[in-house]
Amino acid sequence: MLVEIIFGASLLILMLVFFVQSMKLPFLIKNGLMGAGFFPRILIIILIALIVYYLVELILKRRRYPQKEPVLKSTVWQQCFLMVMMAVSLWAGDYLGMELTIGLFLLVTLVMVEKLSWVRAAIFSAAATVCIYFIFDVWLGLNLPKGILG
């Protein structure tokens, strides 16, 4: 349970870093429409609220049931790997572009953490990237960072 609390706290810190990074993007554009920073900030605020709720539940559960649970090394490895991948994605988003970074993040994490085959992970990652492109760039008209693609 301690590992879950440490992971949740690390995830909370990473979401706060994401929130600070999203402040670089405009929340609204000149004509009052949503800017590129609108959805990231809203989603990050929701994630922060969910993480805080999760951490409070873990702490309360730990106080009620103070028994020790064995920690699986594979679980710790997966959590650390996800944290590193999110931090790398945060850094790479400006250079590679948002869509490409999300696609690569999904591909690598699905193969390494979820143990999907490369083909299935590539199909899912490509479909998710195309959906993100159409939702944010085409339909909502948001200017997501393009990186090397722009």
Q: How far apart are CA 147 and CA 150, in angstroms?
A: 6
Nearest to 8 by CA among 41, 56, 75: 56
Percent of the chain topping pLDDT 70: 93
Nearest to 101 by CA among 90, 110, 111: 90
- Residues 6 or more apart whose CB falls under 8 angstroms from that of 135 comprise none
Q: How far apart are CA 51 and CA 65, in angstroms?
A: 21
pLDDT tens for residues 15-68?
A: 998 898 888 887 877 777 777 778 888 889 999 999 999 999 988 887 777 666
The DSSP code for 70 is P
Token digits of residue 115: 């143990």
- Residues 6 or more apart whose CB falls under 8 angstroms from that of 50 comprise none
The pLDDT value recorded for residue 1 is 66
121 in Cβ contact with 107 (< 8 Å): yes
pLDDT tens for residues 110-133?
A: 998 888 999 999 999 999 999 988
| Residue 129, phi then psi, degrees to nearest 5 | -65, -40
The pLDDT value recorded for residue 89 is 85
Q: Global pTM?
A: 0.60
Helix and strand counts by DSSP (H, E) for the chain: 5, 0
Q: How far apart are CA 67 and CA 17, in angstroms?
A: 33
